[in-house]
Amino acid sequence: MNFFEGEMSLEKVRQTLIRLEDTIIFQLIERSQFGKNKIIYENNKFGFKDFNGSFLEYYVKERESLDSSIRRYDSPDELPFFDKIQKPILPNLDYPKVLHPNNINVNKKIWDSYINNIVPRICHIEDDSNYGSSATIDTSCLQALSRRIHFGKFVAEAKFTDPKYHDEYVKLITNQEKDKIYELLTNEDVERKLLTRVEKKARTFGQDIEFKDNDSPHLKIQPIIIPELYRDFIMPLTKEVELEYLLNRLNNPNMSEKEKEGNLHSSVDKENYKF
Ligand SMILES: O=C(O)C(=O)C[C@]1(C(=O)O)C=C[C@@H](O)C=C1
């Protein structure tokens, strides 16, 4: 079922995050089978005509342009890395307005973390000339990571509208208490379970069945790398999105800066919540 159909809840958002783990882990394992191929991330190494940038930037831009034509970026859970976006050839879909208006986009940070930290950690060979395959999988990895990390907005909205925590969030947001909001949105139990689960998934998905003899399967990726990537990059960026979303959750996007200041001290109307 489409994420936007039916009732929203923190449980449902978390289920989507769990499902997205499968996509992310599969793609990272796929990418680890190729060389680091640093050259595809460096500017102007391939001489594309009328293009200034890296091989990967070229590929992602073209890919996003095509994806936008079939309205990928109309969906509230998809954000492009670049702005070369086309008008969709399909008619608009009417998405329910679940999120508070915002323009949070951490794709630049995702891109930099992916290229500088994730690829060097999962790939072992320096250069194997598989530039096209690497860029294709990089694009899938970046899109899956971006979707997962920006899902932090839905997580934050679910937490904010939870009657158990709502008043506390309103108070903390009103006073812009960043550290306390961060503490309240952090759930260590969920994080611990996630780290154990993604390691198990990496161990299972990365098994080379053909090599399975003497009970010691050949693994395509060291399973421990995946929880490390979640711990060091994926969860911190998701939490950054959650924090940023919550800090601005009481702003009226149509207000002037002066009006916003005044409004920070008024409470929101609970009846208006969509969750
Ligand atoms: O499930 C949540 O409550 C989330 O906020 C998501 C998430 C994550 O990135 O997976 C982030 C922060 C929490 O500490 C636990 C998990």
- Could you tell me the CATH number of the domain that includes residue 150? 1.10.590.10
154-203 residue pLDDT tens? 999 999 999 999 999 999 999 999 999 999 999 999 999 999 999 999 99
> Would you state the structure tokens that stand for residue 14, as one six-digit string?
């978390």
36-50 residue pLDDT tens? 999 999 999 998 888
- Does residue 232 lie in a domain region? yes
pLDDT at 204 over 60: yes
Q: What is the pLDDT of residue 219?
A: 82
Residue 46, domain extent: 10-272
Query: Exposed, middle or buried: residue 46 (CB in 10 Å: 0-12, 13-18, 19+)?
Result: middle
- Does residue 35 lie in a domain region? yes
- Does residue 3 lie in a domain region? no
Mean pLDDT (the chain) is 89
Ligand 1 neighbour 232 (Cβ under 6 A) = no
Q: How far is the CA of 176 from the centre of ligand 1 (A)?
A: 20
Ligand 1 neighbour 155 (Cβ under 6 A) = yes
Q: Which of 185, 226, 240 to mutate to test the pocket of ligand 1 (most atoms within 8 A of CB)?
A: 185
Q: Assign 3-state DSSP to the chain and report helix, strand, coil percentages, each to 5.
A: 60, 0, 40
- Does residue 2 lie in a domain region? no
Beta bridge partners of 208: 218
Query: Exposed, middle or buried: residue 116 (CB in 10 Å: 0-12, 13-18, 19+)?
Result: exposed
44-103 residue pLDDT tens? 999 888 899 999 999 999 999 999 999 999 999 999 999 878 889 998 888 888 999 999
pLDDT at 271 over 70: no
Active site residues: 14, 148, 159, 187, 191, 238, 242
Ligand 1 neighbour 144 (Cβ under 6 A) = no
238-261 residue pLDDT tens? 999 999 999 999 998 765 555 444
Q: Are 146 and 233 in contact (CB under 8 A)?
A: no
- Does residue 230 lie in a domain region? yes
Q: Which atom of ligand 1 is nearest to the CA of 238?
A: 9
Q: Which of 11, 165, 183, 186 to mutate to test the pocket of ligand 1 (most atoms within 8 A of CB)?
A: 186
- Does residue 173 lie in a domain region? yes
Residue of the nearest CA to atom 8 in ligand 1? Answer: 235
Q: What is the pLDDT of residue 273?
A: 27
Report the domain count for the chain: 1
- Does residue 5 lie in a domain region? no
Is the Cα dihedral 266, 272, 273, 274 positive or negative?
A: negative
Ligand 1 neighbour 235 (Cβ under 6 A) = yes
> Would you state the structure tokens that stand for residue 100, as one six-digit string?
């508070």
